Amino acid sequence: AQIECTSASSAILLQASSALAAIEADVSHQKHIISAGGIDPLIAVLKGGSAAAQAFSAQALANAAAYNAADGQDAIVRGGAVPILLALLNVGKAQTPAAMALANVASQNPANQLAIAHAGGIAPLLALLNGRNMEAQVQAASALSELARDNAETQAAIAKAGGIRPLLALLA
């Protein structure tokens, strides 16, 4: 679903995505968001909302991905969010929540780890490690950690992409 933004609808998207991003304290809330069909509208906002609405939607997807693999993580991947989240790694306000969403989508999920790597996710995450936003660096390192966890293919891809030096630089 493509979203057409007028100033009124843009304000509504911003506030609704902000509210959904704020609902993170209790895992049961994520279950309700997912079962109510909330993943696809959040992905639609990623595609066509303002930068702030995109950031809030990425955060809401990060929260949903933390819920569980079958309901949260896989629904986000099936909905086509991975390439959009990767593109948002270049958008200031959305960098941190997009990296967090990718980390949570990849967490303990080998199929999703590969989906992110095959979509070209390693290079933009590595680039984010060199940025000035410390929280974005933290989330990018977390995403790379989750991509590499128990997955020889993604570990090799991170090393081949030159990921060792920037990760070591963060330790200095």
pLDDT recorded at residue 2: 46
pLDDT: which is higher, 86 or 11: 86
What whole-number distance in Å separates Cα of residue 35 and Cα of residue 37?
A: 5
The predicted model gives 25-51 an average pLDDT of 87
The predicted model gives 88-96 an average pLDDT of 95
Handedness of CA 165, 166, 171, 172 (dihedral sign): positive
76, 39 contact by CB (below 8 A): yes
What whole-number distance in Å separates Cα of residue 2 and Cα of residue 57?
A: 15
What whole-number distance in Å separates Cα of residue 170 and Cα of residue 85?
A: 23
143, 103 contact by CB (below 8 A): yes
Q: pTM here? A: 0.91
What whole-number distance in Å separates Cα of residue 7 and Cα of residue 79?
A: 26
| pLDDT tier for residue 26 given thresholds of 50, 70 and 90 | low
Let me know how many helices (H) and strands (E) the chain has, helices first: 12, 0
The predicted model gives 28-54 an average pLDDT of 91
The pLDDT > 90 percentage for the chain reads: 74
pLDDT recorded at residue 1: 46
The predicted model gives 53-72 an average pLDDT of 89
169, 126 contact by CB (below 8 A): no
The predicted model gives 10-30 an average pLDDT of 82
